[in-house]
């Protein structure tokens, strides 16, 4: 049985959505890597935790003996967790679809006024969208497909690649084949 699973990919691929659905279907805890990576700020996602703090928080959150689903990338900062993994699931979605999902999500979370020029989140939103758009073409300087591909090569556990836009049910069915 799968006990410890990491679902990761670019922003907007559905790692949180699929991770929550998988954890619910298995009756196990779901953990967001972003909760360990980012300090709580208002607006959110403005300040990274220092690396030692985020690793300590991840270590404290993920029991090596208990089952869990971890959504989000831990490449480069959460590597001590890797030996615990029973399965890693990489999600890839075409950039235009990812960016449209992100735009809709950010509008829903923060509202159009906050994202518009002069809005409280405008500058951060523009930087975030630019960063997200660079995922497939960037090098090792930021979280990118290249970083993920290198990280995946070193994984000691099975790796499932889900590319395209499978439904949540289709994704869960493919993950279930690894039980």
Closest by CA position to 162, among listed 175, 177, 151: 175
Instruction: Answer whether 148's CB lies under 8 Å from 8's CB.
Output: yes
In which band, very low, low, confident or very high, does the pLDDT at 1 lie, cut at 50, 70 and 90?
A: low
The residue behind tokens 């029973």 is 86
- Model pLDDT, residue 42: 81
pLDDT per residue as tens digits for the range 28-58: 999 999 999 999 988 778 899 999 999 999 9
Is 80 exceeded by the pLDDT of residue 2?
Answer: no
Euclidean distance between CA atoms 5 and 48, whole angstroms: 24
Q: pTM score, two decimals? A: 0.94
pLDDT per residue as tens digits for the range 115-167: 999 998 899 999 999 999 999 999 999 999 999 999 999 999 999 999 999 99
Mean pLDDT of all residues in the chain? 95
Average pLDDT, stretch 82-89?
97
In which band, very low, low, confident or very high, does the pLDDT at 72 lie, cut at 50, 70 and 90?
A: very high
- Model pLDDT, residue 54: 94
Average pLDDT, stretch 59-78?
95
Ordered structural domains, the chain, with CATH: 4-95+147-170 (3.40.50.300)
């Amino acid at each position: 049985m799968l006990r410890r699973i990491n679902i990761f990919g670019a922003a907007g691929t559905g790692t949180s959505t699929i991770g929550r659905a998988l954890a619910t279907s298995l009756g196990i805890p779901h953990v967001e890597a972003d909760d360990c990576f980012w300090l709580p700020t208002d607006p959110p996602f403005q300040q990274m935790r220092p690396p030692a703090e985020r690793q300590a928080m991840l270590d404290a959150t993920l029991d090596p003996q208990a089952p869990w689903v971890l959504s989000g990338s831990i490449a480069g900062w959460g590597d001590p967790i890797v030996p615990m993994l029973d399965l890693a699931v990489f999600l890839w979605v075409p950039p235009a679809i990812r960016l449209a999902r992100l735009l809709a999500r950010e509008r829903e979370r923060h509202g159009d006024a906050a994202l518009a020029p002069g809005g409280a989140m405008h500058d951060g939103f523009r930087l975030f969208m630019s960063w997200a758009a660079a995922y497939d073409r960037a090098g090792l300087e930021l979280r990118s497909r290249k970083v993920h591909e290198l990280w995946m090569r070193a994984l000691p556990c099975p790796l499932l690649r889900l590319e395209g836009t499978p439904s949540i049910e289709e994704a869960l069915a493919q993950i279930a084949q690894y039980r």
